[in-house]
Amino acid sequence: MAQYKIGWMPGDGVGKDVMEAARLVLDALKLDAEYPAADIGWEFWCREGNPLPERTLECLRQTDCALFGAITSKPVAEAAKELDPSLQDKGLTYFSPIVRLRQEFNLHTNMRPCKAYPGNPLNYKDGIDLVVFRENTEGLYAGVEFHPVPESIFKALSINPKMKRFGKHALEDLAMSTRIMSRAGCRSIVTQAFEFAKKFNRKSVTLVEKPNVLRETGGLMTRTAREVAKNYPDIPLWETNIDAQCMWLLKNPFDYDVLVAENMFGDIISDLAAGMVGGLGFASAANIGDKYAVFEPTHGSAPKYDGQYKVNPCAMLLTAKLMLDWLGETDSGRRLEAAVAAVVAERKVGTYDVGLNNTTLEVAEEVARKL
């Protein structure tokens, strides 16, 4: 029996291509693992009306962690039109399977390293090394939304005088997305950021919020972060607004180290950080809970490139590195990152985004040779 069971979820589009590259490298590392396949993605929404079938959740419950490729998502109305005719008009509503995964397994922490590897021509500036901690299950992405807005919800919210001006609209002409945050969720993500900074001798933790406008939710996050920071007197806590942080990160990227934010703001700032270190082709991510984790590159499914083996696999390979670290295979993780860094630095083998013309698998094979 293998030492590890890793749920294998290629998903959609180029997710399949980069997962094939990951398997090539994991096999070169001789990781003692088996990879049970788990269905997820657009194909299963269209065919079954569920992009994350229950059988997939059951499969994942029997594994140590999971590796995930990419997902195709479309707005609700467009998604409904692509359902199999037998499923049309059945009241089925599309949801993001990766968001559901995060909530089902309470993967509360999303960690996104953004490092500028030497030799990458896409680096905004060499030497950038940021890590974003994004709260993963609450905030604006929690999925508590309404359209049309139910009358009972509207009446309940009308205790706030600022709702009065929306009364001129018909309920079917209103849509609502809520930003719900708990003190426990805020404390958890900020603590994760500080613990990481402490373990790896990082110089600061920056809270990215907007409490001057989002006074209650942003205020709760800010007050909680200040409380947590008292437990780490040697690590300064900086506070910035999301809009200003986007500017300052571009102007002075070396001033920042570990950034922490709620769900949507973390999503925004991590994509900006990824763009500074070569783009989404180099951006890895870990969704971590207390007992389980799902690892994914942050790029999308890029359907137009499906099966062409054109996209950069480095994000996926660095994601595999995060998985190895989480499993305790830190030496293999170190070797894998070093191999990726060596291939990037040599600039002999690479995909179109870095100005070269190799395929996804050719890059993975070169990384495997470096191992």
Question: What mean pLDDT, rounded, does the chain reach?
Answer: 96
Band (pLDDT 50/70/90 cuts) for residue 260 is very high
73 and 60, same domain (yes or no): yes
**Is residue 120 assigned to a domain?**
no
293 and 314, same domain (yes or no): yes
59 and 96, same domain (yes or no): yes
Looking at residue 164, what is its pLDDT?
94
Q: What is the pLDDT of residues 71-129, one digit of tens each?
A: 998 888 899 999 999 999 888 999 889 989 999 999 999 999 999 999 999 999 999 99
**Mean pLDDT of the 205-216 span:** 97
Q: At what angle do helices 242-251 and 263-275 cross, to 10 degrees?
A: 20
Q: Percent of the chain at pLDDT above 70?
A: 100
Q: What is the pLDDT of residues 133-165, one digit of tens each?
A: 999 999 999 889 999 999 999 999 999 999 999
269 and 257, same domain (yes or no): yes
**Is residue 258 assigned to a domain?**
yes
Both tokens of 116, joined, read 């500028």
214 and 268, same domain (yes or no): yes
**Is residue 76 assigned to a domain?**
yes
Question: CATH no. for residue 311?
Answer: 3.40.718.10
Select from 121, 155, 177 the last residue of a domain: 177
Q: How far apart are CA 188 and CA 166, in angstroms?
A: 35
Q: What is the pLDDT of residues 311-357, one digit of tens each?
A: 999 999 999 999 999 999 999 999 999 999 999 999 999 999 999 99
Select from 275, 296, 312 the last residue of a domain: 275
pLDDT at 25 over 90: yes
158 and 260, same domain (yes or no): no
149 and 167, same domain (yes or no): yes
Looking at residue 1, what is its pLDDT?
84
Question: CATH no. for residue 193?
Answer: 3.40.50.2300
Q: What is the pLDDT of residues 78-90, one digit of tens each?
A: 999 999 999 998 8
Band (pLDDT 50/70/90 cuts) for residue 180 is very high
Q: Give residue 255's Cα distance to chain centre.
A: 23
Q: In what order do the strands lie in the sheet with 205-209?
A: 33-34, 4-11, 65-70, 293-297, 284-288, 109-115, 129-135, 258-261, 205-209, 237-241
Q: At what angle do helices 314-327 and 14-28 cross, to 10 degrees?
A: 50
Domain count, the chain: 3
**Is residue 117 assigned to a domain?**
no
Instruction: Give the residue numbers spanning the domain of 154.
Output: 144-177
pLDDT at 218 over 90: yes
Closest CA to 325 of 286, 297, 269: 286
Looking at residue 201, what is its pLDDT?
97
Looking at residue 197, what is its pLDDT?
98
Select from 275, 300, 315 the last residue of a domain: 275
